[in-house]
C-alpha cells in the first residue's frame, strides 16, 4: 500500500488575478519539486473527482451551497471575475476547482478507509479552512477538511476523528463547523494576532487552540505542541486523522511571522503518523491549505509527503 496523491488539472483554473498569493503556480511548484526529489515513485497519483452537493452539505448549509453554486456558475458563464470578500475572487474556473478540491478530500478518505491507500495528501486549491458553514472567506469556498471529516463520520460510521490544523492562520471556518461536534477533536496552532484574528477563545470544548506569538521559532513551537496537543490527542484516541496542511508558518513565508522550517513539518508529520499508527490503523488524510512562498512551500510539502510515504 502506498500514499495516495490527489490533485486535478482543474484546480489550476481557479485564478484570483495577477499578484494574488493563492495562485495556480503553487501546485506547479509542489509537483515539480516532488519530481525533482524523486518522490513520485513513492506516490500513487490520482485525479480528484468532483464532490457531490450532498457531500458538501455535510459541512455547509444547503442555503449557502445553493447560493454559492448560483454565483459561481454565473461567473463561469459570464467569464467576469467577481470579488466575494476583500481577499477572495471568483473566476470562471472557481466552481470546478472548488468541486475538485472537496472531491479530493472525500475520495482520499474513501481510499484510506477502504485500505486502497495507507494515507493520502491532497494537493488542491482553493484551500478550505476559513470557509465557515455559511460564508466564503480568506481564499476559501468549501471547507475541504470539514467535508472529509463529516464524510468519515456520517458515511463510514467512524465515531472519533481528529482534525489537525498547522496553517499559520487560525482555521476559523473549521472551528465554526466543528465546534460542539464531540465526535471531532480539533487541534490547531496559529500566529496570534494575525488574520482572521479569532481562535484565542475556543468556541467549544472539542477545540484545542494554541495561539503563538509572532517570531516564535520551531523548537519552541514543538515543545508547546508536545505539551498542548499530544496528550489531548492520545486521550481522544482518534480513529482517523485529518490534517489542514498549511505551510505558511514557514520562516520564508511573508504572510505570517513564524519561524518553522522543513524539519519542523517533518517532526509534526511524524508525531501525527505515530498517533495514527497507535489508534487509527495509520489512517490519515492531509489537505493543502496555505503556503505562499513557492520554494518554501514545495520543500515543506516534500518534507511532509516524504514522512507520509515512509521514504
Q: Which stretch binds Zn ion (CB under 5 A): 15-23, 217-225, 239-247, 271-279?
A: 239-247
Cell numbers for 181: 461536534
Site membership for Zn ion, residue 130 (CB under 5 A): no
Contact mark string toward Zn ion, 141..180, x via CB under 5 A: --------------------------x-x-----------
E strand or H helix at 75 = helix 62-78
Q: How is the beta sheet containing 207-212 ordered, strand by strand?
A: 43-47, 3-7, 119-122, 284-288, 240-245, 161-165, 184-191, 207-212
The correct pick among 173, 218, 238, 246 for binding Zn ion (CB under 5 A) is: 246
Residues in the chain: 311
d(CA 44, CA 32): 16
Q: How far is the CB of 168 from Zn ion (least distance, A)?
A: 5
Q: How far is the CB of 171 from Zn ion (least distance, A)?
A: 9
Using CB under 5 A as the binding criterion, the count of chain residues that bind Zn ion stands at 5
In Å, what is the CA distance from 229 to each residue of 119, 165, 234?
Answer: 21, 11, 9
If the CB atoms of residues 236 and 265 are measured against Zn ion, the closer one turns out to be 265
H-only helix segments in 115-202: 144-154, 172-178
Q: How far is the CB of 297 from Zn ion (least distance, A)?
A: 11
The correct pick among 175, 248, 253, 262 for binding Zn ion (CB under 5 A) is: 248
Q: Among residue numbers 18 through 57, which ones bind Zn ion (CB under 5 A)?
A: none
If the CB atoms of residues 167 and 264 are measured against Zn ion, the closer one turns out to be 167
Catalytic residue among 33, 60, 130, 304: 130
| Cβ–Cβ under 8 Å, residues 183 and 151 | no
| Cβ–Cβ under 8 Å, residues 292 and 250 | no
Active-site residue flag, 8: no
Residues marked active site are found at 130
Contact set with Zn ion (CB under 5 A): 167, 169, 246, 248, 290
Amino acid at each position: 500500500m502506498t500514499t495516495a496523491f490527489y490533485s486535478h488539472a482543474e484546480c489550476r483554473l481557479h485564478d484570483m488575478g495577477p499578484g494574488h498569493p493563492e495562485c495556480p503556480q503553487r501546485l506547479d511548484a509542489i509537483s515539480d519539486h516532488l519530481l525533482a526529489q524523486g518522490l513520485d515513485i513513492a506516490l500513487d497519483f490520482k485525479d480528484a473527482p468532483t464532490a457531490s452537493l450532498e457531500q458538501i452539505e455535510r459541512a455547509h448549509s444547503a442555503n449557502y451551497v445553493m447560493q454559492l453554486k448560483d454565483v459561481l456558475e454565473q461567473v463561469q458563464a459570464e467569464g467576469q471575475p467577481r470579488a466575494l470578500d476583500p481577499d477572495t475572487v471568483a473566476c470562471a474556473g472557481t466552481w470546478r476547482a472548488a468541486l475538485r478540491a472537496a472531491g479530493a478530500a472525500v475520495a482520499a478518505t474513501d481510499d484510506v478507509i477502504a485500505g486502497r491507500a495507507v494515507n493520502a495528501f491532497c494537493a488542491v486549491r482553493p484551500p478550505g479552512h476559513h470557509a465557515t458553514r455559511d460564508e466564503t472567506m480568506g481564499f476559501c469556498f468549501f471547507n475541504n477538511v470539514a467535508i472529509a471529516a463529516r464524510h468519515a463520520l456520517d458515511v463510514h460510521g467512524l465515531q472519533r476523528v481528529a482534525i489537525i490544523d498547522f496553517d499559520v492562520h487560525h482555521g476559523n471556518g473549521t472551528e465554526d463547523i466543528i465546534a460542539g461536534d464531540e465526535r471531532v477533536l480539533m487541534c490547531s496552532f496559529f500566529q496570534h494576532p494575525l488574520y482572521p484574528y479569532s481562535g484565542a477563545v475556543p468556541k467549544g470544548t472539542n477545540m484545542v487552540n494554541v495561539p503563538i506569538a509572532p517570531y516564535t521559532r520551531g523548537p519552541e513551537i514543538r515543545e508547546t505542541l508536545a505539551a498542548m496537543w499530544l496528550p489531548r490527542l492520545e486521550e481522544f484516541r482518534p480513529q482517523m486523522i485529518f490534517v489542514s496542511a498549511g505551510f505558511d508558518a514557514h520562516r520564508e513565508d511573508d504572510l505570517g511571522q513564524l519561524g518553522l522550517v522543513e524539519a519542523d513539518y517533518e517532526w509534526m508529520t511524524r508525531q501525527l503518523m505515530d498517533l495514527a499508527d497507535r489508534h487509527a490503523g495509520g489512517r490519515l488524510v492531509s489537505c493543502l491549505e496555505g503556503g505562499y512562498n513557492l520554494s518554501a512551500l514545495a520543500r515543506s510539502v516534500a518534507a511532509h509527503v516524504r514522512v507520509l510515504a515512509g521514504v
